[in-house]
Amino acid sequence: MSSRTKLAYAAVFAAMGFAATVHADCVYPKAPASVPNGATATEQEMVAAMQTLKDYNQSVTAYLDCLDLETSTRIAEAGPDATADQVKQIRAMEAKKHNAAVDELQSHADEFNKQVHVYKSKKKG
C-alpha cells in the first residue's frame, strides 16, 4: 500500500470520527433544582442562585449552538436530493427542542426575578 493510499485512508477515518462527534445528540441542559425563597433567603443564597442561573444560561446557549450544528449536519446528510418536506421536518424538530429549552430557561429566570423582588422588598421593610 502506498503512502498516498495510507494517507487517504487516515483522512477518511479521521473524517468519520469527526462526523460521529458532530452528529452526537445534544445534551439537554439540566435546569436548576430550585430558586431560593426571597422572603427567607440570605444574600449569599441569592447570589449563589444568580450564579447558578448564569451557568444554566450558558449551558442552554451551548445546547442551542449544538442544535444548530446538529441540524446543519442532518440536512447535509440528507443530501442534495432531500425534499423540502424532509428539510422542513428536520428544522421543525430543532425548533421544538430549541423552544423547549428557551421556555424552560425563561421560566427559571422569571421565578428568580420574582424572588429577587421579594428579597429586595424584605430588605426595605
* pTM for the structure as a whole: 0.77
The Cα 109–Cα 63 span in angstroms is 17
Model confidence pLDDT, tens digit, residues 69-87: 999 999 999 999 999 999 9
Q: What is the pLDDT of residue 9?
A: 42
pLDDT at residue 11 is higher than 60: no
Determine the average pLDDT of the residues in 113-119. Answer: 97
Report the number of distinct structural domains present in the chain. 1
Q: What is the mean pLDDT of the chain?
A: 86
The Cα 125–Cα 112 span in angstroms is 20
Model confidence pLDDT, tens digit, residues 15-51: 444 444 445 689 999 999 999 999 999 999 999 999 9
Domain that holds residue 56: 3-124
